[in-house]
Chains A and B, each alone.
Chain A
């Protein structure tokens, strides 16, 4: 739901500055030029917040505020004063009538947004809607860790990604970094002195630009109390040391809501190729499983009705992989897609050991599989 914010000011300049400040956020700005108009617009539109000037013609801000607070239907609307009237006694008098905050002009747009963000849950609007970000797009990760070896390990482990990974040793440095450029994801050591990670987390969650930034905690596996504390306060995930960078990568991609399907699914000529990775951990299999139906359906929609499932990276077969392959074959049947398997000798041999997989046929290469699909009748190329 888009918030409505009412700005009541006789200066068009101020109303334009307010509109400009809220432009990056999911808000509608409505305007009034004096207190009489302000009351009428408030009653009609029921805004989520009113920004109110004091010195205005027709009806000033103090009178409008008094009338607003006396109206049972309107008195619940939070008001932030935005005015050049900033004398102590004046501020106290207005505060007694009932305002949520008081901002004295001149003001910076960031300060206005920060104050409004304490009243409304402001959400930034995406610059480019619709297109989801993918695993191959750049992203900024910030690590706060006082042990340089850990920062280095994460940078090394994620070197193959397009992500820019910066490391700092204190939360003060991190706050400065976040102020200059908001990272896409933050990893913070829970072992920093004086519970600095938790103080930093609260700071991040109150910032308008960072309140939705995923924050991961880094902690030694045996520090159960810190892990529980992080989960209780709302950390997006807790990563235990020693760090499994493959698992970290999967969790980071999920937390940033990245489209990871391109890692496994690709259109190759007249066939869609599903490439199973070397690491078929449960999280990876779950990820591939979630993409099966939409990706195969996407292929059919694009006029492609052949799928090659390439297992030559897989070192050894296990039940998780077999279950996923059955799920893939079933999806192919439902969508009337022909499929073929590619694998090495060891996989062929392992398949002979299971009753359900004994009949599977593997091709040596993608080219063989595609040639087989071209010759075969639909749905039968992978089963002997």
Chain B
């Protein structure tokens, strides 16, 4: 059993930055950049205020540490990512429908959260991934209940905004 490392905001920022960069670079050939420093809060917040349609992937991790990560992509970027991942043109994507975009964003989220939580595992907090879910909408907020620590990080990638919204349950 590896000794545990204290989970600080800096550690989380490092892990999420590495995870997002690795996934987007490897799977999409695009290198995202941190656009804002992290925001740590326990309040409700809406990380996206543009009003554009969003596709949000969610994957949790459960074990010695529990949490959820929401990966927000605007619909246009979600479509672009899906086309690149699956080698589809615009017409093929329209024919394939929303289900394919949802699945692709779900998988990108799964890979990102997997990469993030593998860092936590190796830091002494073994945990397992949950199955991805997808939320679509133009204006919604996430309101964590109880004593949840929340970190929001924004990335710029191919002229689009990607938001990683991390919710962590503090240790008992």
Report which A residues bind B (CB closer than 8 A): 10-14, 16-17, 20, 54-57, 83-90, 104-108
Of the listed stretches B43-51, B121-129, B141-149, chain A binds B121-129
CB distance from A136 to the nearest CB of B (A): 34
A106 pairs with B86, CB closer than 8 A: no
Which single member of B87, B107, B127 contacts A11 (CB below 8 Å)? B107
Q: Complex formed: what's the CA distance from A234 to B48 in Å?
A: 61
Q: Complex formed: what's the CA distance from A163 to B87 in Å?
A: 33
B107 pairs with A89, CB closer than 8 A: no
B126 pairs with A55, CB closer than 8 A: no
Which single member of A16, A20, A89 contacts B121 (CB below 8 Å)? A89
A105 pairs with B114, CB closer than 8 A: yes
B126 pairs with A17, CB closer than 8 A: no
Q: Complex formed: what's the CA distance from A86 to B118 in Å?
A: 6
Residue B157 lies at the interface, judged by CB distance under 8 Å to chain A: no
Known: A11-B107, A85-B129, A106-B27. 13 other contacts (CB 8 A): A11-B110, A54-B129, A84-B111, A84-B114, A84-B118, A85-B128, A86-B118, A87-B118, A87-B121, A88-B2, A105-B110, A106-B22, A107-B26
What are 24 residue pairs bridging A and B, where the CB atoms are less than 8 Å apart in the complex?
A10-B131, A11-B103, A13-B85, A13-B104, A16-B85, A55-B110, A55-B130, A55-B131, A84-B113, A85-B114, A85-B128, A86-B115, A86-B118, A87-B126, A87-B127, A88-B2, A88-B122, A90-B126, A104-B115, A105-B110, A105-B111, A105-B114, A105-B115, A106-B27
CB distance from B80 to the nearest CB of A (A): 14
Which single member of A56, A57, A86 contacts B114 (CB below 8 Å)? A86
Q: Complex formed: what's the CA distance from A57 to B130 in Å?
A: 9
Q: Which 9 residue pairs across A and B have the least CB separation, nearest first?
A: A84-B114, A87-B121, A106-B26, A13-B107, A86-B118, A11-B107, A105-B111, A13-B104, A106-B23
Q: Complex formed: what's the CA distance from A11 to B132 in Å?
A: 9
User: Given that A11-B110, A84-B110, A85-B118 are known contacts, is A108 also in contact with B129, CB under 8 Å in the complex?
Assistant: no
B86 pairs with A20, CB closer than 8 A: yes
Residue of B nearest to A89 (CB): B126
Residue B117 lies at the interface, judged by CB distance under 8 Å to chain A: yes
Residue B106 lies at the interface, judged by CB distance under 8 Å to chain A: yes
Interface residues in B72-116 (C-beta closer than 8 Å to A):
82, 85-87, 100, 103-104, 106-107, 110-111, 113-115
CB distance from A52 to the nearest CB of B (A): 15
User: Given that A55-B130, A57-B131, A108-B26 are known contacts, is A17 also in contact with B85, CB under 8 Å in the complex?
Assistant: yes
CB-defined contacts of B122 to chain A, threshold 8 Å: 87-88
CB distance from B10 to the nearest CB of A (A): 21
User: Given that A12-B103, A17-B85 are known contacts, is A104 also in contact with B118, CB under 8 Å in the complex?
Assistant: yes
Residue of A nearest to B109 (CB): A84
Which single member of A12, A85, A87, A104 contacts B100 (CB below 8 Å)? A12
CB distance from A62 to the nearest CB of B (A): 10
CB-defined contacts of A83 to chain B, threshold 8 Å: 114
CB-defined contacts of A13 to chain B, threshold 8 Å: 82, 85-86, 100, 103-104, 106-107
Residue of A nearest to B125 (CB): A87
CB-defined contacts of B107 to chain A, threshold 8 Å: 11, 13-14
A11 pairs with B106, CB closer than 8 A: yes
Q: Complex formed: what's the CA distance from A87 to B110 in Å?
A: 14
CB distance from B60 to the nearest CB of A (A): 11
Q: Complex formed: what's the CA distance from A11 to B86 in Å?
A: 12
CB distance from A7 to the nearest CB of B (A): 13
Q: Mark B1-21, 1 if CB is under 8 A from A, else 0.
A: 010000000000000000000
